[in-house]
Structure 1
Amino acid sequence: MSWLLIAGSLAAVAAAVVVVVALLWPAGGTADAVPSNDSADAGFARDMAIHHQQAVELSFIVRDRTDDEDVRRLAYDVINTQANQRGMLLGWLDAWDLPKSSQEMPMSWMNHDMGSMPGMKGMAGMDYKPHDGSLMPGMATNTEMDQLRKASGKQAAILYLRLLTAHHKGGVAMSQAAAEMAKSDQVRRLARGMVESQEAEMRLMADMLKQRGAA
């Protein structure tokens, strides 16, 4: 399958997830349907909004640092998909009348009862310690962000693919947890959609790295 077909398919899947989730979110509802401030739903919405914001930033940086058209197209897809999903997550917090930030450590919602859940023991995030600007697993450090800003051409393209692959791995782990823990059907659906789309992008990026002679 050609790159254009793959990229188009990924974009279509992501767009479909956004549309379906938006349509299924109820215009009204009872108080029982609104997640609490310390729920997995709210924690995931806050943390994934931050996680997505960095992916968008990485993609804007590489767009201006390389002429590799395939990498630039991937970056464009990431910018559009993850910016849209970030807006949805923040919009849900608004609809729930919950704050968009928290004094809790990132991913603390994953530690509440994940350890006893089937398949969740040892999940990334359980014992993660934020460092050098990397707040959650997979997030690039400030040092890595600076390296991407200084790189150019093929070097920038390869570094972006490596950083985004690691970023997606962390995002998939978080989304898998939300798909298991969230109480809202809409949050679980979006989380499952993120797992599927980001795993597909990771496979694509593995092929792109091989094509560029990188591991």
Structure 2
Amino acid sequence: MEKPVMRPILIVCGVLVLAVAAFLLFGRDGMPGDNSPEAGFARDMATHHAQAVDMAFTIRDDDPAKEIDNLAFDIINTQSTQRGMFMGWLEQWQLTQATDQRPMAWMAGHGHGGTAAAPGPMPGMATPGELARLRAAAPGTPAEVLFLQLMIRHHEGGVQMAEGLLKLSTRGEVVSMAQKIVTGQSGEIKLMTELLAKRGAKPLPTILKPQ
């Protein structure tokens, strides 16, 4: 006779659990919540883009060949604009730009970088040592080759992150941006690979999964 009494209690508990989960994922008024893939993507991609912009400014300071200068200029403009949009989304969603969550935590359980699901470094990011090498590289071909190699790998990481978001979100503006990143950075990877070949060099080992 107790089962009919317990069943409503269990249902209420289940509804409360779902409500808490929905708030964490979608926040108020259907906006993405703090732990959502959309928020994690916006935060991490903003950081990822900031490094790309920094590397592009570094190579432009070396007065590179015109084709490298044009590429760096495009990266600075495109990724600075996109980074501003990421920050605008977080403000619109009433979320902080900083977080205690580890990078790539929004991908936990879904895999990234061709490996298992635990949070970890954002894929494709240059190390402090690599950035120091880029700043210290001799102007001309040595600096251009290193820039292209680091930026190809960096773009590969950006493509991975954007493709990961596409598997986790249906939110229009975020999905549209992720698709643009996949298309735009894939095209630039092809261009940079060609620019490397003209300089007698090859990309670093790819971090992309085989298709």
| TM-based fold match above 0.5 | yes
For structure 1, list consecutive stretches of 5 or more residues without a partner in the other structure: 1-29, 131-135
Contact 1:124 1:173 in 2 (8 A): no
1:69 aligns with 2:72: no
Contact 2:105 2:120 in 1 (8 A): no
1:108, 1:33 → 2: CA distance?
21
Shift of the 71–148 alpha-carbon distance from structure 1 to 2, 3 Å rule, reads: same
Contact 2:49 2:83 in 1 (8 A): yes
Contact 2:105 2:118 in 1 (8 A): no
Distance apart, 1:185 and its partner CA: 1.3
Distance apart, 1:67 and its partner CA: 2.6
Report sequence identity in percent: 42
Residue matched to 1:49: 46
Equivalent position to 1:139, from 103, 121, 125? 125
Distance apart, 1:69 and its partner CA: 1.0
Equivalent position to 2:182, from 165, 174, 195? 195
CA RMSD of aligned residues (A): 1.8
Equivalent position to 2:134, from 148, 152, 167? 148
Measured against aligned partners, the alpha-carbon deviations of 1:152-190 in whole angstroms (never above 9, x if no partner) come to 211110100000000001110000011111241110111
Higher RCO by CA contacts (8 Å cutoff, separation 6 or greater):
1
Per the normalisation by structure 2, the TM-score is 0.78
Note the 1:96-111 alignment, pairs <5 A.
96-111=93-108
Note the 1:24-43 alignment, pairs <5 A.
31-43=28-40
Residue matched to 2:18: none
Query: For 2:73, what is the secondary structure of its paired residue?
Result: helix
Shift of the 91–124 alpha-carbon distance from structure 1 to 2, 3 Å rule, reads: farther
Measured against aligned partners, the alpha-carbon deviations of 1:90-139 in whole angstroms (never above 9, x if no partner) come to 0000000001011111000001x415xxxx7x636835644xxxxx1100
Residue matched to 1:21: none
For structure 2, list consecutive stretches of 5 or more residues without a partner in the other structure: 1-26, 203-211
Shift of the 124–188 alpha-carbon distance from structure 1 to 2, 3 Å rule, reads: farther
Contact 1:180 1:188 in 2 (8 A): no
Query: For 1:105, what is the secondary structure of its paired residue?
Result: coil
Per the normalisation by structure 1, the TM-score is 0.77
Distance apart, 1:83 and its partner CA: 0.1
Equivalent position to 2:77, from 69, 75, 80? 80
One-letter amino acid of the counterpart of residue 181, structure 2: M
Residue matched to 1:123: 114
The aligned length equals 175
